Chains A and B, each alone.
Chain A
Amino acid sequence: MNFYNNSKENTNMNSNSVVKYSDDLVTNPTSRIACTLLLDISGSMSGDPIDALNDGLKRFVKDVKADDFAAYAVDLAIVTFGGSVQVHTPFQNMSSVTVEELYAGGGTPMGEAVEVAMDLLEERKDEYKRNGVSYYRPWMFLMTDGQPTDSYVNQAQALKKANILKQVVTFGIGIGDGCDFNTLAKFCPDERPPVKLADINFRDFFLWLSQSLRQVSSSVPGTKLALPPTDGWTIDL
């Protein structure tokens, strides 16, 4: 059976070339850390918050790419929700990621975004299995400054359950005073409730994330390790 031809042909929205995403799993068998960023870009994120998010995201990609070992181990997907849900960046190895500018506008369809992200992750895990590539427990970051404007209960339960089953690790991050932390907590495991981003300090959050991913990429899948402290970018709720 030729798995190569069975792979899904996704086009890389951020480059002119057409890339089959599982190609890089054939040529680069490094153990993967699938990292999904679920980003709220609804209308309330307009102005300084979206600028800070764009700036932080660009630095994050640059920082992970600077460590070649981590760059070949981290797979990134970005799903945005602002008016509609968009797969801004489908799963791809960090070494080939280029981030396009995010623009704020519209409502907060968080439930649908979580569903799309979970589907993307399942597809990526299938690709890992088809190509015999091992992977760390995937990370999913859910960042919002408000509350869902769509129905979200089933999706929140599904994500919480995936955490309990150790299929994913979710980090909920609330932005600003308008965030509904009680609702955000419904998407997160009980032992890891959402945290609040200090001001709009995306820069330090993404710095923490790149350091953490670099640390994980040189560890062994399945082992526990202590991540860097988060006090640089979180404040107490």
Chain B
Amino acid sequence: MTKKITVYNSQGQPQLLGKPIAAGGQGSVYNMEQYDNIAVKIYSAHSLGKYAAMYEEKLGAAIELGRLKKFQGVSWPALMVYNGKGSFIGYAMKKVEGVPVNRLAHAMTHKKYFKKMNRKDVASMLLKLAVNLKSLHENGVIVGDLNLNNILVNPADYTPVMIDCDSYQIDYQGKTWHCPVARPELTAPELHGKDFSRVKRSLESEYFSFAILVFQCLMLGRYPYDWIGGENPVENLLQGSFPYGSDSHIQGTVPTGPWYKIWSHMSYKLKSTLIQTLREGAADPGKRADLDEWITILKHYIFMLEEGHADSAMIPAIKKSNEWVQK
């Protein structure tokens, strides 16, 4: 049996860690032996060797942003954690249960984890996510590495909670701690090729990532810049080659399968906003829909689904007729 790890709070009080929940390159997240609702992230020796001072300072700032601790939509750092010698090794946070969005935004795995999922469930989850993100932004926090892996969703009520907060960009008392990581396929074009540990992310770059996430969640994981004959979707992203919409032949061909059919059933405003953000918005950050716009659009789409003006099946049976598309 593996030996239990003892960690300490800032007053030197010991606590036993329980079983590991997840492990990654930076470190591992553990349960706590005595508290069911708390999880602890312990950085690997490699991470600490290089970045201990930076993490300690950044997490100190995060913890001082106290109002986010009570915020339900994010698993925000709550306490610093130390080893027996009093050295910083990680942090404690609220434990959240859920399934990563990458299982929801997936043509196959959603059937296993989100059995009865319909478009209203997905749109409601996205609306809650937009509201969460807006609250973070209002507190000087930008996720930066917004992606399908760092959001957990409760399959019972489709409530999203954002995790991995130690990588978020934090602006606090005149200082910025950057988000050092990125996934190219969700990163706005202006950030490609930049040193992420130094570059300051803008709200507009987050809006771009959010639009990709909206598309992928509503399209069962299909990536918006995949098109027939294309080889590297990230190149398509840089060019803004988004193949959906009436002039799609100019941009590339929508992949074979149910994808155009699914697209056709979205509301006109939802489609035109995705087209504008993912096509023109690739080169022009000013063309990207902000979160207030997304909140309005998603609320309207949910209303349409509730009133039966839009098909709520994840894969509708037939393509929407032109008459309907104009509505």
Q: Are B107 and A68 in contact, with the CB atoms below 8 A?
A: no
Contact check, A134 vs B232: say whether CB atoms are below 8 A apart.
yes
Interface size on A, residues (CB 8 A): 24
Which residue of the partner chain, among A2, A29, A72, A223, contacts B255 with CB atoms under 8 Å?
A29
Would you call A220 and B108 a contact (CB within 8 A)?
Answer: no
Complexed CA–CA distance, A27 and B262 (Å): 13
Q: A30–B221 Cα gap in the complex (Å)?
A: 8
- 12 interchain pairs (CB within 8 A)? A3-B228, A29-B221, A30-B221, A72-B106, A72-B108, A95-B108, A130-B228, A131-B257, A132-B256, A134-B230, A221-B234, A222-B232
Inter-subunit contact B256/A30 (CB<8 Å)? no
CB atoms of A133 and B255 under 8 A apart? yes
Q: Which of B109, B253, B254 contacts A72 (CB 8 A)?
A: B109
- The answer to whether A134 and B233 touch (CB under 8 A), given A29-B222, A30-B221, A69-B103, is yes
Q: What string of 1s and 0s marks CB contacts (under 8 Å) between B102-116 and chain A?
A: 110011110010000
Structural contact, A222 and B228, CB atoms closer than 8 A: no
A8 interface contact, C-beta 8 A: no
Which residue in B102, B106, B107, B185 is a CB contact (below 8 Å) of A220? B185
A32 to B303, CA, bound (A): 37
Task: Say yes or no: A129 contacts B229, CB within 8 Å.
Answer: yes
A4 and B256 form a contact (CB under 8 A): yes
Q: What CA separation (Å) do A218 and B253 show in the bound complex?
A: 26
- A contact residues around B108 at 8 Å (CB): 27-28, 30, 68, 72, 95
B residues 224-280 touching A (CB-CB < 8 Å): 226-234, 253-259
A31 to B, closest residue via Cβ = B223
Segment 1-59 of A: residues with Cβ below 8 Å from B: 2-4, 26-31
User: Chain B's nearest CB lies how many Å from the CB of A59?
Assistant: 22
State A3–B255 Cα separation when bound (angstroms): 9
Q: Which residues of B contact A26 (CB under 8 A)?
A: 255-257
| A28 adjacent to B107 (CB under 8 Å) | yes
Asked if B256 and A68 sit within 8 Å, CB to CB, the answer is no
Indicate whether B19 reaches chain A with its CB closer than 8 angstroms.
no
Would B228 and A129 count as touching, CB distance under 8 A?
Answer: yes
Bound-state CA distance A2–B183 (Å) is 33
Q: A131-B255, A132-B228, A133-B255 are in contact. Are A30 and B184 (CB under 8 A)?
A: no
Q: Is the beta-carbon distance between A30 and B107 smaller than 8 angstroms?
A: yes
Assess the B226–A68 pair: CB atoms within 8 A: no
- In the bound complex, residues from chain B placing their C-beta under 8 Å from that of A132 are 226-230, 253-256
Listed residue (B102, B223, B232, B257) with the most chain A CB atoms within 10 angstroms of its CB: B257
Interfacial chain A residues near B296, Cβ < 8 Å: none
CB distance from B296 to the nearest CB of A (A): 29
Contact, CB under 8 Å: A69 / B102: yes
Complex CA gap A129/B259 in Å reads 16
- A residues contacting B by CB (< 8 A) are 2-4, 26-31, 68-69, 72, 95, 129-134, 218, 220-223
Indicate whether A220 sits within 8 Å of B184 (C-beta atoms), given known contacts A30-B221, A131-B256, A134-B226.
Answer: yes
Residue of B nearest to A215 (CB): B25
B72 at the interface (CB under 8 A from A): no
Residue pair A27, B230 in contact (C-beta under 8 Å): no
Task: Please indicate the chain B residues that have their CB under 8 angstroms from the CB of A134 in the complex.
Answer: 223, 226, 230, 232-233
Q: Which of A69, A129, A220 contacts B183 (CB 8 A)?
A: A220
Closest 10 CB pairs of A and B: A132-B255, A26-B257, A132-B226, A132-B228, A134-B233, A3-B256, A220-B183, A132-B227, A72-B108, A29-B222
Complex Cα gap A27–B257 (Å): 6
B149 at the interface (CB under 8 A from A): yes
Instruction: Please report which residues of chain B, range 125-162, place their CB below 8 angstroms from some CB of chain A when the two chains form the complex.
Output: 149
B2-15: CB near A (< 8 Å → 1, else 0) gives: 00000000000000
Complex contacts, B222 vs chain A, CB 8 Å:
29
B184's partner among A27, A218, A222 (CB-CB below 8 A) is A222
Query: B residues within 8 A CB of A29?
Result: 107, 221-223, 226, 255, 257, 259
Q: In the complex, what distance in Å separates the CA atom of A69 from the CA atom of B102?
A: 9
B24 → chain A closest CB, angstroms: 10
- The chain A residue sitting closest to B222, CB to CB, is A29
Give min CB distance, B50 to chain A, whole Å.
15
Q: Which of A2, A69, A220 contacts B109 (CB 8 A)?
A: A69
CB pair A68–B255 under 8 Å, yes or no, is no
9 new A-B pairs (CB below 8 Å) besides A29-B221, A222-B234?
A: A3-B228, A3-B256, A27-B258, A29-B222, A30-B107, A30-B108, A69-B103, A132-B229, A222-B184
Q: What residues of chain A lie closer than 8 Å to B112, measured between beta carbons?
A: 68
Which B residues touch A221, using CB under 8 A?
A: 185, 233-234
Contact residues, B11-44 vs A (CB, 8 A): none
Complex: chain B residue closest to A24, CB-CB: B108
Chain B residues within an 8 Å CB radius of A129: 228-231
> Which residues of A have CB within 8 Å of B102?
69, 218
CA distance A51 to B239 in the complex (A): 52
Q: How long is the Cα–Cα vector from A95 to B112 in the complex, in angstroms?
A: 14
Within 8 A of A (CB), among B183-215: 183-185
B106 touches A30 (CB 8 A): yes
Tell me which residues across on chain A come within 8 A of B107, comparing CB atoms.
27-30
* Chain A proximity mask over B79-108: 1 for CB below 8 Å, otherwise 0: 000000000000000000000001100111
